[in-house]
């Protein structure tokens, strides 16, 4: 199973969107979290550089199946899913 660093971003307008880097994947949740913990500042800075009007970003590691369910709108509350693990 592949894992990705996933962000729910909130823009200054209040609009929310999901972002993840599809070419930055991990073979396990532990690898993903370890990478995030070592690089959290740079990841958040990168998001803000690309999307300067971000007000807030909630970042977690998610598996591809869950990300696809979220993208299809199958998850009503983006932060109440099976692999709920706060970073």
Pick the closest to residue 17 from 2, 29, 6, 32 (CA basis).
Answer: 6
Q: Find, among 18, 23, 19, the residue nearest to 2 by Cα.
A: 23
Report the domain count for the chain. 1
Query: So what's the pLDDT on residue 27?
Result: 96
| Contacts with 54 (C-beta within 8 Å, 6 or more apart), sequence order | 9, 10, 11, 12, 47, 48
Residue 12 falls within a domain, yes or no?
A: yes
Per-residue pLDDT of the chain (87 residues; tens, 9 = 90+): 899 999 988 899 988 888 888 889 999 999 999 999 999 999 989 999 999 999 988 899 999 888 888 888 755 555 554 444 444
* Encoded tokens for 86: 């706060």
Residue 30 lies in a domain: yes
46 belongs to a structural domain: yes
User: Cα–Cα distance between 9 and 7 in angstroms, integer?
Assistant: 6
**Domain for residue 85, yes or no?**
no
61 is in which domain, residue-wise? 3-71
> Does 50 map to a domain?
yes
pLDDT of residue 74: 57
Find all residues with CB under 8 Å of 9, minimum gap 6, and list them: 16, 17, 18, 19, 47, 51, 54, 56, 57
Instruction: Report the length, in residues, of the chain.
Output: 87
Q: Is there a domain that residue 86 lies in?
A: no
């Amino acid at each position: 199973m592949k894992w990705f660093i996933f962000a729910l971003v909130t823009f200054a307008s209040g609009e929310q969107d999901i972002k993840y880097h599809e070419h930055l994947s991990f073979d396990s949740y532990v690898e993903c979290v370890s990478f995030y913990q070592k690089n959290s500042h740079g990841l958040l800075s990168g998001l803000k550089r690309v999307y300067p009007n971000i007000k807030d970003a909630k970042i977690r590691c998610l598996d591809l199946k869950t990300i696809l369910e979220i993208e299809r709108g199958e998850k009503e509350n983006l932060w109440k899913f099976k692999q709920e693990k706060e970073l």
